[in-house]
């Protein structure tokens, strides 16, 4: 029976009700702030990923350029050795 009594709706005093409403408002504010923080973190992670992709593209382009230069150098050496 003691368990049933704790399940009954509690009546709030005016002071308790004000405090309860303040706490609910704080919880709502914290939820909004948490969502804003999560959004900002996701946006930062997306910017970081985009930067990483750009770096990878630049490295690939640089590697392709080095490979092309090496091939041209080899061709020039071959032509020079024929002279």
Confidence check: pLDDT of 3 > 90: no
CA distance 48 to 35: 20
30-61 burial, b for 16+ CB within 10 Å, e for fewer? Answer: eeeeeeeeeeeeeeeeeeeeeeeeeeeeeeee
CA distance 73 to 32: 61
Confidence check: pLDDT of 36 > 90: yes
Between 82 and 22, residue with greater pLDDT? 22
Structure tokens at 80: 């020079």
Confidence check: pLDDT of 59 > 90: yes
CA distance 72 to 83: 17
């Amino acid at each position: 029976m003691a368990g049933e009594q704790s399940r009954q709706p509690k009546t709030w005093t005016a002071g308790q009700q004000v405090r309860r409403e303040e706490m609910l408002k704080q919880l709502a504010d914290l939820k909004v702030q948490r969502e804003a923080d999560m959004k900002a973190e996701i946006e930062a992670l997306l910017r970081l990923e985009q930067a990483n992709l750009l770096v990878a593209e630049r490295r690939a382009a640089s590697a392709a350029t080095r490979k092309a230069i090496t091939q041209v150098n080899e061709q020039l050496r071959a032509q020079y050795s024929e002279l």
